[in-house]
Structures are given as C-alpha cells and as structure tokens.
C-alpha cells in the first residue's frame, strides 16, 4: 500500500542554519513526489515536485529536494533558513488520481 | 485571478445539524478533492471527483456527502452522522490525470467547530 512517513513531528533550527526535512515513501512503481508548505490556518502551497530525470529538484523559496530511490526518500533541504520559513511541511506521493500525504513536520525558526 | 475559494472561513455547528462547505474553482480543472486535516494526522482524503456528475469515496467518507453538478463547484456536506466533525477542511483541484503526476492546488480552508 502507498504511504508517506515524515519521522520528525517538530524541528527547530536557528535562523541562517541549514535545514533538512525527512520524507520516506512506500510505493510500488516510479513515484510522483511533492513537497507542500502550509502556514497556520492556510491552504497548502506547492514547493517542488519530482516526476523523473534529475534526482535533485529545485523549488520555490530556495528549497530543493533529492530523490533517492535506494532509500525510498525525498528529503527537503534549504541551505539557510529564514524566519518566514516557519510553517508546516508536507510530503506527498501521487498515485493515479489520488495523493497520499505524510503527517507533516512543523518547523520553528529561532532568531 | 485564478484560484480556489472556500467559504465560510469559520463555521460553527450545533450537534445534530448538517452543514455544507463551499468550494469553487476557476482554474478549469476537471478534478476536485476534499481533505480533512487534524493536528498530527496530516491530510486525509474524504471524497474526490474526476469529472462532473461523478465522485468517489476517499479514505474517510463516512458521515460526509458531496455533489458535482458543475465543473467549478464541489460542495461538501458534513452530516449529523459524522461523529467527530470538528476539523480543518481543505478543498483542492487539479487537471484530470491517471498517473498521479497532476499537481493539486489548494483552497484556504474552512475551520468547522461543533458546539
């Protein structure tokens, strides 16, 4: 069965520090992978997506993610976090006409 | 501007009442979705529709109903049969696809509270 795991519920980083949010998926074929960001009380905004080709994908707001098939992972990274990055981040895998979302990682940014 | 609108932003309901959440999109998308979001549980799919006059149950459809009479609109009714309806509800839309590669666009959400 398809599933997405985000093992970190909360992460706190200092402003300017690097960030990595973990995502592991379970899927039987080539996955379509997405990262979304959600500010409190808002909808979700797409950060980036992976379909095929280059395993390192660039997104908006300076985010990138790397697809590693051998590890079934699609981790999100940012070299230098800004206070405005504080939000909740969701990883998702697309399957035919449905998405499966992870439970999310809440990012806090310390000044 | 193209996008998805959900109304109302906040909704209060008494126990035993049905309530309908609105979702409208002007992106010309064929597919629309309803998700429920609870703290620590991510997004769970309630219903989805790939085309007008057709819809399918998602993972947690019990106590909910939908209709898809128009391409732009996909209202969700939370019935009195839903045992724990207090949650944040998100509507999304996408182009129609069968591969899972179609990005979903989200509305701003409706927070439903049962009193």
In the predicted structure, residue A11 carries a pLDDT above the cut 70: yes
In the predicted structure, residue B36 carries a pLDDT above the cut 90: yes
Quote the CA–CA distance of A34 and A59 in Å, as a whole number. Answer: 10
Closest by Cα among A69, A71, A68, A77 to A105 = A77
pLDDT digits (tens, 9 = 90+) for A55-82: 999 999 999 999 999 999 999 999 999 9
Phi, psi of A33 (to 5 degrees): -120, 145
Give the chain A residue whose CA is nearest to the CA of B41.
A103
How far off is chain B from A15, nearest CA to CA, in Å?
25
Quote the CA–CA distance of A45 and A48 in Å, as a whole number. Answer: 9
Residue A46's pLDDT is: 95
Read off the pLDDT band of B21 (50, 70, 90). very high
Angle at A73 between CA A51 and CA B92, to 5 degrees: 55
Q: Domains of chain A (ranges plus CATH)?
A: 3-110 (2.60.40.10)
What is the phi-psi region of residue B44: left when phi exceeds 0, alpha when psi lies from -120 to 50, beta otherwise?
A: beta
Best B33, B42, B89, B96 residue to mutate vs chain A (most A CBs within 10 Å): B42
């Amino acid at each position: 069965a398809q599933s997405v795991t985000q093992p970190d519920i909360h992460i706190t980083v200092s402003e300017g520090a690097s960030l990595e949010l973990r995502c592991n998926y379970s899927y039987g074929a080539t996955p379509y992978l997405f990262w979304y960001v959600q500010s409190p009380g808002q909808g979700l905004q797409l950060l980036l997506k992976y379909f095929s080709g280059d395993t390192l994908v660039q997104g908006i707001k300076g985010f990138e993610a790397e697809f590693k098939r051998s590890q079934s992972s699609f981790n999100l990274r940012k070299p230098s976090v800004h206070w405005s990055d504080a939000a909740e981040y969701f990883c998702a895998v697309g399957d035919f006409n449905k998405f499966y979302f992870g439970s999310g990682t809440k990012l806090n940014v310390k000044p | 501007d193209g996008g998805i609108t959900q109304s109302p932003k906040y909704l209060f309901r008494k126990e035993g009442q049905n309530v309908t959440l609105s979702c409208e999109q002007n992106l010309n998308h064929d597919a629309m979705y309803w998700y429920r979001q609870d703290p620590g549980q991510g997004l769970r799919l309630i219903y989805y529709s790939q085309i007008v006059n057709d819809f399918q149950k998602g993972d947690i459809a019990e106590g909910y109903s939908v209709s898809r009479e128009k391409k732009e609109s996909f209202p969700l009714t939370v019935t009195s049969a839903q045992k724990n309806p207090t949650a944040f509800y998100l509507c999304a839309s996408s182009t129609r696809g069968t591969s899972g590669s179609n990005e979903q666009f989200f509305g701003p959400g409706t927070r439903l509270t049962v009193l």
